[in-house]
Amino acid sequence: MAIDETRFEYVGFWIRVAASLIDTVLVSFLLVPIASLLLGRGLSFDAGADLSFSALLLNCILPAIAVVWFWLARQATPGKMVFGARIVDAETGGRLSTGQSIGRYLGYYVSLVGLGLGFLWVGLDARKQGWHDKLAGTVVVRERRGM
């Protein structure tokens, strides 16, 4: 099943920025209490390896797992859901594979190159794909308004 452009529209830059801001706020509400619990259990900034692992867990691993899980389970993060947007395979319009989801997440780091040029690319591309989308073979779509 290819993407039906009469039914779906590609989601542009500003909606995706707003969705990311919503996701950032939600993640903060979840991770700040967890960080407080970990630091309150005797971990301090002088704790060396314990703090480094905790920081890695809170800043990189848990958010990555949550985002990939949302993409696989719901085809969107909560921020994208607010706008009716979902991430789909660019060729078929179907659900993402686990490999695509992980690749898309890792592609975020590529999109950060050059002051985030890969993210800004969403505003320039005909299908509104950032570099992470192009690398993973994904697009972000939503049903056309008024349908």
For residue 2, being part of any structural domain is answered with no
pLDDT at 105: 97
Fill in the amino acid letter for 129.
Answer: Q
For residue 3, being part of any structural domain is answered with no
- Nearest CA to 128 out of 138, 143, 114 is that of 138
pLDDT digits (tens, 9 = 90+) for 15-65: 999 999 999 999 888 888 877 777 665 545 554 555 677 777 778 888 899
For residue 95, being part of any structural domain is answered with yes
Q: Burial, 41: exposed, middle or buried (Cβ in 10 Å; 0-12, 13-18, 19+)?
A: exposed
For residue 123, being part of any structural domain is answered with yes
Does residue 132 register a pLDDT over 70? yes
pLDDT at 20: 96
For residue 4, being part of any structural domain is answered with no
Fill in the amino acid letter for 103.
Answer: G
Task: State how far the Cα of 113 lies from the Cα of 109, in Å rounded to an integer.
Answer: 7
For residue 59, being part of any structural domain is answered with yes
Task: Report the percent of the chain where pLDDT is more than 70.
Answer: 89
- Nearest CA to 63 out of 34, 99, 36, 100 is that of 34
For residue 67, being part of any structural domain is answered with yes
Q: Who contacts 145 (Cβ-Cβ below 8 Å, separation ≥6)?
A: 9
Domain count of the fold of the chain: 1
pLDDT at 57: 79
The range of the structural domain enclosing residue 78 comes to: 9-143
The predicted model gives 74-99 an average pLDDT of 97
For residue 138, being part of any structural domain is answered with yes
pLDDT at 53: 77
The predicted model gives 77-84 an average pLDDT of 98
* Helix (H), strand (E), coil (C) string for 127-138: CCCCHHHHHHCE
